[in-house]
Chains A and B, each alone.
Chain A
């Protein structure tokens, strides 16, 4: 008796509270919740469908609805196994260019932005340099494909320059990876510069002046004041650049081209994964897609807090 009594009380108050909330709810509130519910479903259903599909056997895919979980008989890890086996070497190759390209473009962008913001030099010169850099953001990838291949095949033949590396037993296909690093750095500098510049504009001018008066040179001000305070913006730029470079297919197609190459990045292998003459293996494609997306997810999780801070600033 004594045990059940408080529970009924608790139930009563919960019901009462629920009733009060419902009483106060207007049509607008209800409408808002309905819209939010649909928005949530809109985003979640494709991901959920993909995830459950990746664990289904071939027959389960045909017999169950795309978003329904597989039954105990239709459940399998086999597709993930296959996907990981196929993609693992591609993951390594992708990291090999995505990480350096991301880090280098962020650092170069930060230094460029510092040079364009903090030091006092003629405004009219600054504007021209800034304009040239910003214009880079608006050049579409497609427009540079031909010049890019020409550049790497005729003007800068890395294959020959790096011959001492191939002598060590590394496949000369890896020249494509180096080309990807340089190309992505060049393409990333404008947006990185713009992001950092916006951030540096908000830094206290008096603080920088104070550091100059304290005897610090321009380089020291960057090293000891500006760089340590750039953390949140580095998070934004690293996440943005990493995702961008990791997911890019166009440059990899042009510069590495074949999925059979030992230097093939994950996106190239993923593109052909699970397609054959017999038709699409949906489960395998889904498992591959999720596996290939893991690094970008990891980056968001690691830098999430700083990212939020940087976006707010």
Chain B
């Protein structure tokens, strides 16, 4: 168990004469026993970051330390880390038992009986005791995934690294393994860095999540904080499904003026915006409420364009102007209760509550005003 510290880590690749920056000045520190999820779209540099921690890629600049020991130039095999790969990377010519013993045989001086005991114990913990004498090719995807995990766990490393370990599983198994992985990590208490592009995994598994885009760290915080208090527009749009609604607006006095609507803001919100006038208004679909009658400037008369029933909830696509061409008109996506009956073409009144709005600087994307997490929590309590 150990702490892991990335200090201004940068990675550049040479592509002909061009220099490609894959990871740009990323700093983060991971506590002992913490479960950190690194998430971002493909090509954001998350895997490269993980591979640098593993020692599979060289670090162009910055320092990497495990337990205050700088390991930039320490070889992979001497870093005492275990990694689970997306492809599982099992050794096809070895039995499950040999696969799991391999690391202990190579990295420790333990006697054979001790190695055997550890492998059997780990096999039991993961429920794969009956598979120990089989070859990887005789196992299902889920079983192979367990063996890959077992191979990492049995070594009892300082740090676990996982590179999209669940993405080759089907949806049901993935959900099961998600829970099981969390439980295992909790029990073992090993510092873990987990890379994924799946925002459900990011939201549900980690103590904290680090969101990367274009090689730069966008935000590192608890999942709920990232969700409710995003550092910028990218984080806001990346987390949440359906994703946050964004409208380009201009600040005019105490009003946010958009193409098709005006949104008055209170002084407390106004104070956060400072001198910036080119803004983006953001609102999460689930924060939008459908009300009976328009009674307030935060409510808008709208037309239902499309309804997607999900069972427990409906996703509805709303237009401000009933006559507008649906392909180009500004759309507001709202998530409402599954029992509320709305259908295409209906006229409805949508309320955009002021305590739930986010305001971003249109130029930099930086968040100027966020809903506060306390407010969000209060609302949940009320429901």
Contact = CB atoms under 8 A, between A and B. Distances in A.
Given A213-B82, A214-B102, A214-B103, A225 B91 contact: yes
Contacts of B85: 206, 209-210
Interface stretch (A54-62, A143-151, A215-223): A215-223
Interface string B61-93: 000000000000001110001110111011111
Contacts of A212: 56, 75-77
B204 to A, nearest CB: 26
Contacts of A220: 106
Nearest to A208: B89
A204 interface: yes
A215 B107 contact: yes
B77 A216 contact: yes
Contacts of B89: 204, 206-207, 209-210
A213 B87 CA distance: 15
B54 interface: yes
Contact of A216 (B54, B82, B106): B106
B155 interface: yes
A211 B155 CA distance: 13
A210 B83 contact: yes
A224 interface: yes
Contacts of A206: 85-87, 89
Nearest to B54: A213
Contacts, number: 61
Interface in B31-74: 54-56
B12 to A, nearest CB: 16
B194 to A, nearest CB: 16
B41 to A, nearest CB: 22
A31 interface: no
Given A204-B87, A211-B102, A216-B106, A228 B93 contact: yes
Nearest to B155: A214
Interface in A80-104: none
Contacts of A213: 54-56, 76-77, 81-83, 103
A216 B103 CA distance: 8
Contacts of A229: 92-93
Contacts of B83: 209-210, 213
A229 B54 CA distance: 25
Interface in A158-210: 204, 206-207, 209-210
Among A204, A209, A215, chain B packs the most CB atoms within 10 A around the CB of: A215
A160 B56 CA distance: 51
Contacts of B107: 214-215
Interface SS of chain B? loop
Q: How large is the interface on B (under 10, 10 to 19, 20 to 34, 35 or more residues)?
A: 20 to 34
Interface in A39-64: none
Contacts of A211: 91, 102, 106
Given A215-B106, A215-B107, A207 B81 contact: no
B8 to A, nearest CB: 24
A212 B54 CA distance: 10
A202 to B, nearest CB: 13
A229 B89 CA distance: 14
B256 to A, nearest CB: 49
Contact of A215 (B56, B77, B86, B93): B77
B91 A215 contact: no
B73 to A, nearest CB: 14
B54 to A, nearest CB: 6
Contacts of B108: 215
B102 A207 contact: no
Contacts of A210: 83, 85, 89, 91, 151
Interface string A9-38: 000000000000000000000000000000
A229 B90 CA distance: 13
Contacts of A228: 93
Given A215-B107, A217-B77, A229-B93, A209 B102 contact: no
Contacts of B93: 228-229
Contacts of A217: 77
A209 B91 CA distance: 11
Given A206-B89, A210-B89, A224 B81 contact: no
B102 A224 contact: yes
Interface in A209-247: 209-217, 220, 224-225, 228-229
Nearest to B91: A225
B112 to A, nearest CB: 15
A216 B75 CA distance: 11
Nearest to A207: B89
Nearest to B51: A209
A307 B340 CA distance: 67
A126 to B, nearest CB: 15
Nearest to A214: B103
Contacts of A209: 54, 56, 76, 83, 85, 89
Contacts of B82: 213-214
Greatest chain B CB density within 10 A among A209, A214, A216 is at A214
A78 to B, nearest CB: 51
Given A210-B91, A214-B102, A217-B77, 10 more contacts: A204-B87, A206-B86, A207-B92, A212-B76, A213-B56, A213-B103, A215-B77, A216-B102, A225-B91, A228-B93
16 contacts: A206-B86, A206-B89, A207-B89, A210-B91, A211-B102, A213-B54, A213-B76, A213-B103, A214-B102, A214-B103, A214-B107, A215-B106, A215-B107, A216-B102, A217-B77, A220-B106
The 10 closest A-B pairs by CB, nearest first: A215-B107, A214-B103, A206-B89, A215-B106, A210-B89, A216-B106, A206-B85, A207-B89, A215-B77, A212-B76
